[in-house]
């Protein structure tokens, strides 16, 4: 494919018509600058979006965000909505790390008071928040406990003292998705999750302490508890081995289901089943269980993060409390109501590396965000800015109520490992005042800022496209990685 085959609708909106390939059911709508689109043509992300557009039961365009990059089957940054209950559900279009997501917390701690103790804060977070390959969590669970975590998500964490009630209010789905069934989760998946609750993992997962660098919308920032010159914190992780195994199990079992339902897909990773089939309902229930595990996982990590802040700032700062701004998922399948052809229709929205971005007044938003729209959290890469946005009414109209999720990878991991030295990168970042605690220097190199797209360009794109609006820009002070 080349750029001439993609129709430009505006500066930031493009379309591949359904006529481009015979098996396409719907067009592909891309949000990108010309430059980002040209970069995307270097890998398979657009071809994967075209493949996704061939799946049965699509209710409208497959949407791709400006941070798109090649995934396995479905592009990262992709959104697809299938009629519910008559369409399909596809584990690969949701991702292995079910409910990988981001949580943002704000504070009233001024940078000037925090700066002398940032190294100690980074050490405390690194010590208190389990991270890294094979590291087990501090929370000891029985099998029965794990089932309750999978059913109840953040509500389990609240009951066991790891959460405040307002944390749940300010979490997508209140941190607990109905319809989760741990019995749809395999014993292998449960075994993988049993020792991992309250752990960060490794790879591109992180905990980050940031500074509110610039506020673009005072009213929305105030509603979200964001103050210029004060600290914030982000937690980025997902459902750990439990979610990975759920996806693995159902991608495997759907291979047979597709034959039974006579469904053909151009990539086996796009395997799917009718959502109202026994296989589809089982996956939906298991996916929800894994999503709840991830909500609880992030909640428990936040409890440890709050401990770290208390350890460092108690007695030093008047108010060291971390207020939850919001928690969003960027790998998820959700049954939502959207307008299709002028009618309110239920669809199963698959977001893989894309964030829900509901506009003002949308159902499910906490009262304090009804006027602002849903907070949209977009972490950059290490060393670059992160962004707090708000959802818009336009996103509901053109992108299934969705926006971007991050910077999007540009460079392969193997190339990053060859060209970037982890120790040099760490020194460079520390010289810039960013305190790094990393369990693996090669892992750090793979996650170098140069391996990612320019997050500011991604943000400008979604803002110009009208599917999100700026609230605040955050810059990193400390990064903790497994």
Residues with Cβ < 8 Å from 424, sequence gap 6 or more? Answer: none
Interface with another protein (CB under 8 A), residue from 73, 137, 198, 401: 73
- In angstroms, what is the minimal distance from the CB of 220 to another protein? 31
Separation of first and last alpha carbons in the chain: 38
Task: Tell me how far apart the alpha carbons of residues 471 and 217 are, in angstroms, rounded to a whole number.
Answer: 5
Interface with another protein (CB under 8 A), residue from 409, 437, 470, 481: 409
Closest among 367, 453, 459, 468 to 68, alpha carbons compared: 453
Task: Tell me how far apart the alpha carbons of residues 401 and 378 are, in angstroms, rounded to a whole number.
Answer: 15
CB-nearer residue toward another protein: 105 or 301: 301
Q: Tell me which of 236, 350, 405, 435 is the catalytic residue.
A: 405
Task: Tell me how far apart the alpha carbons of residues 250 and 285 are, in angstroms, rounded to a whole number.
Answer: 11
The answer to whether residue 114 forms part of the interface with another protein (CB under 8 A) is no
Closest among 175, 295, 192, 184 to 240, alpha carbons compared: 192
Reply yes or no on whether 405 is catalytic: yes
H or E segment to which residue 236 belongs: strand 230-237
Interface with another protein (CB under 8 A), residue from 214, 255, 278, 424: 255
Interface with another protein (CB under 8 A), residue from 201, 379, 422, 476: 201
The answer to whether residue 54 forms part of the interface with another protein (CB under 8 A) is no
- In angstroms, what is the minimal distance from the CB of 74 to another protein? 9
Closest among 472, 425, 433, 427 to 449, alpha carbons compared: 425
- In angstroms, what is the minimal distance from the CB of 93 to another protein? 12
The answer to whether residue 256 forms part of the interface with another protein (CB under 8 A) is yes
Interface with another protein (CB under 8 A), residue from 15, 113, 181, 267: 267
The answer to whether residue 282 forms part of the interface with another protein (CB under 8 A) is no
Pairing of strands 88-89, 273-274: antiparallel
Name the 3-class secondary structure at 272: coil
> 109 — phi, psi (to 5°)?
-80, 115
- Name the segment binding another protein (CB under 8 A); options: 154-162, 221-229, 316-324, 409-417: 409-417
Interface with another protein (CB under 8 A), residue from 21, 127, 160, 188: 188
- Name the segment binding another protein (CB under 8 A); options: 52-60, 90-98, 178-186, 215-223: 90-98
> 276 — phi, psi (to 5°)?
-90, 10
For the beta carbon of residue 53, count every other beta carbon within 10 angstroms. 22
Name the 3-class secondary structure at 102: strand
Site for another protein in 411-450 (CB under 8 A): 411-415, 440, 442-443
- In angstroms, what is the minimal distance from the CB of 446 to another protein? 8
Chain residues binding another protein by CB under 8 A are: 43, 45, 69-73, 76, 92, 96-97, 133-134, 188, 191-192, 201-203, 241, 244-245, 247-248, 251-252, 255-256, 267-269, 271, 409-415, 440, 442-443
- Catalytic site positions: 405
């Amino acid at each position: 494919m080349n750029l001439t085959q993609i129709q430009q609708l505006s500066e930031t909106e493009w379309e591949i018509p359904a006529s481009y390939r015979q098996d396409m059911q719907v067009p592909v709508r891309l949000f990108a600058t010309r430059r980002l689109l040209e970069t995307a043509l270097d890998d398979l992300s657009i071809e994967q979006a075209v493949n996704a557009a061939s799946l049965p039961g699509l209710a409208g365009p497959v949407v791709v965000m400006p941070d798109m990059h090649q995934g396995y089957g479905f592009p990262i940054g992709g959104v697809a909505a299938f009629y519910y209950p008559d369409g399909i559900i596809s584990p690969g279009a949701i991702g292995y790390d079910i409910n990988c997501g981001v949580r943002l917390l704000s504070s009233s701690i001024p940078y000037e008071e925090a700066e002398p103790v940032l190294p100690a804060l980074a050490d405390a977070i690194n010590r208190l928040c389990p991270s890294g390959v094979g590291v087990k969590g501090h929370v000891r669970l029985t099998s029965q406990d794990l089932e309750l975590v999978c059913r109840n998500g953040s509500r389990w964490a609240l009951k066991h003292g790891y959460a405040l009630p307002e944390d749940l209010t300010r979490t997508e789905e209140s941190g607990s998705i109905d319809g989760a069934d741990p019995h749809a989760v395999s014993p292998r998946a449960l075994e993988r999750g049993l020792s991992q609750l309250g752990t960060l993992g490794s790879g591109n997962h992180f905990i980050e302490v940031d500074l509110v660098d610039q506020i673009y919308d005072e009213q929305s920032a105030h509603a979200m508890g964001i103050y210029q010159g004060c600290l914030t914190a982000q937690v980025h992780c997902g459902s750990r081995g439990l979610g990975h195994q759920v996806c693995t199990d159902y991608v495997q079992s759907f291979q047979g289901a597709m034959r039974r339902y006579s469904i053909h897909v151009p990539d086996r990773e796009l395997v799917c089943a009718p959502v109202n089939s026994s296989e589809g309902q089982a996956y939906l229930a298991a996916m929800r269980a894994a999503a709840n595990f991830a909500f609880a996982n992030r909640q428990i990590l936040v409890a440890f993060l709050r401990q770290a802040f208390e350890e460092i700032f108690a007695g030093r700062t008047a108010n060291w409390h971390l207020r939850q701004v919001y928690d969003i998922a960027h790998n998820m399948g959700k049954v939502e109501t959207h307008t299709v052809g002028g009618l309110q229709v239920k669809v199963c929205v698959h977001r893989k590396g894309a964030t829900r971005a509901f506009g003002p007044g949308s159902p499910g938003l906490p009262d304090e965000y009804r006027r602002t729209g849903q907070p949209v959290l977009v972490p950059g890469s290490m060393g670059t800015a992160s962004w707090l946005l708000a959802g818009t009414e336009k996103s509901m109209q053109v992108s299934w109520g969705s926006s971007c999720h991050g910077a999007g990878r540009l460079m392969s991991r193997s190339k990053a490992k060859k060209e970037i030295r982890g120790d040099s990168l760490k020194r460079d970042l520390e010289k810039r005042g960013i305190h790094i605690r990393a369990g693996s220097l090669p892992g750090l190199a793979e996650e170098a800022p140069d391996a990612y797209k320019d997050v500011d360009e991604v943000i400008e794109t979604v803002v110009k496209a009208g599917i999100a609006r700026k609230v605040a820009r955050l810059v990193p002070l400390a990064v903790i990685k497994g």
